[in-house]
Structure 1
């Protein structure tokens, strides 16, 4: 179950970022934090289910090209989980082919952004999915 923002102690939306590239992970985490979100940034998705349970995010920002377990597999796992099947997922990937986009969207991602991502584009995608706290 996804925690509503009103139940978060500080009222900020929570986003989990799964990105293996250190620079991108820090960049996304810093910018999203600056933009008012609480962020948990992970370099891989090996223990994603446990991390989601502990952090209770409102949205998952997911790279596809990850070590050890790829983003497609993680997306399938999220969508097959009773707890997380409704969790909004935004893909941010270097995979620019239309087939990659179709596959991720067919697996349940709400939005697909191709790297390099402009920051305003990232925030617009998130805001289109998550209304501001208190607007529900």
Structure 2
């Protein structure tokens, strides 16, 4: 369950790549972020990850770890192999609440780790903080 709150208005030129396999979660986050003023590209899995980064040029990535075709840890490793992508902040949004999963994701380059269910206002605050750095 995600809790709605009134968002601040984002810069409409900010691109967010959202990788989430759960249709309801993906749609809810996407619609909220679009309402906040972000441009959002949604992916239900990781197979088009690299081509989507190249084409969409995201300013930030929201990444679920449990995906049907490839896990999020593998996608984090792919980012590490592309120095030109290392500046893109990645926020993991996952149901994996174990400390070991969090530590692994952060060691692979994720900037933040949010455990589902996440409050949308918390998600947007995290996005704003990462984009301000």
1:20-75 superposed Cα distances (whole Å, 9 cap, x missing partner): 00001101110000011000010001121101111010000000000120000001
Higher mean displacement: 79-88 or 41-50: 79-88
Gaps of 5+ in 1: 1-9
Pairing of 1:47-62 with structure 2 (within 5 A)? 47-62=48-63
1:56-102 superposed Cα distances (whole Å, 9 cap, x missing partner): 10000000000120000001101211221221100000000111101
Gaps of 5+ in 2: 1-10
TM-score by length of 1: 0.87
Higher mean displacement: 82-91 or 111-120: 82-91
CA distance in 1, matches of 2:131, 2:111: 11
Give the aligned partner of residue 5 of structure 1.
Answer: none
Pairing of 1:97-136 with structure 2 (within 5 A)? 97-131=98-132
Pairing of 1:31-46 with structure 2 (within 5 A)? 31-46=32-47
Give the aligned partner of residue 21 of structure 1.
Answer: 22
SS at match of 1:130: helix
Give the aligned partner of residue 73 of structure 1.
Answer: 74
Number of residue pairs aligned between Structure 1 and Structure 2: 123
| 1:11 Cα deviation from its structure 2 partner | 4.9
